[in-house]
Amino acid sequence: MKYKGIIFDLDGVLCSTDRFHFEAWKQTAEEVGAPFDETINMKLRGVSRMESLEIILSGSSKTFTDAEKERLATEKNDRYRKLLAQMSPADMPTAVRDALTALHNAGLKLAVGSSSKNAAYILERLDANRYFDAVCDGTMIAHSKPDPEVFTKAAAMVGLAPADCLVVEDAAAGLEAARAGGMDLPRHFAEAELSPRPVHTASARTERTVRIRKHDIPAFTALWVYDKIIEERIQENVSCETMEEYAEAQRTVSRRDHRLHLGRRGRGAHRR
């Protein structure tokens, strides 16, 4: 097996809290008189709270002191944490839990590498801490993504070199961080829902065309990692609208591979 450990980003990979971020930041934007929509919200993915605030404030005609910025960031986080209280274990897709269990049973070290300072609370709400050997979050680092610190520190926490780790990430800042840290990664799928196109694996040996709804991305990513690491196979040129279509495509491959395997066994027995 090529990898000894896998480091997962949290939001958008293991679960989705986009709706909570959007609502909390939208209220901040309204307060400061700045525009806010899904396009602006996407720019906030994978960056720190204060950097996200600066992106929003860039659309306002007002100026703010450092103290006012701290207040705005704190109020946003307070709103966000109240919304996070709605989360439960049901917010982590079954496909994600199954994949994490299989990866753990295969002997891989699993870690979370998230810039969020709310990562511990989210994992608690999801009842997901039990899957991970280490969690490195925004409270433990001096530099947010795209700096590789969160990933290199997560690797160190599980006693592995960066080259022995695969990073699973869905945001541009996180992909840049993984590359800067010398880690392997599958290309992210977040943009595929907007513009279906080939998505190349890190090895560039295969490609797939994927169209997945945004709320399905965590489960899709989990299945992709499971297929890549545990089954050591990737179905090429898969075009999916839903998780159900992807799962059925992979079941078709499994049935085909199983039949081929049985066929080889039968021919071998006949020759003997």
Q: Rounded to whole angstroms, what are the CA distances from 92 to 12, 119, 148, 216, 261?
A: 11, 14, 26, 11, 34
Question: Do β-strands 207-209 and 198-200 pair in parallel, antiparallel, or remain unpaired?
Answer: antiparallel
- Strands (E) across the chain are located at 5-8, 109-113, 134-136, 165-168, 198-200, 207-209
* Crossing angle of the two packed helices 119-126 and 66-84, in degrees rounded to 10: 10
Cα–Cα distance, 178 to 195 (Å, whole number): 24
Catalytic, out of 9, 91, 170, 216? 9
9 carries an active-site annotation: yes
Distance CA 263, CA 269 (A): 10
89 preceded by a cis bond (ω within 30 of 0)? no
Question: Cα–Cα distance between 87 and 92 in angstroms, integer?
Answer: 9
Q: Are 131 and 103 in contact (CB under 8 A)?
A: no
User: Which residue of the set 11, 18, 91, 216 is catalytic?
Assistant: 11
Helix (H, G, I), strand (E, B) or coil at 52: helix
CB 159 within 8 A of CB 169: no
127 is catalytic: no
SS3 label, residue 7: strand
Order of all β-strands in the sheet with 165-168: 134-136, 109-113, 5-8, 165-168
- Active-site residues: which are they? 9, 11
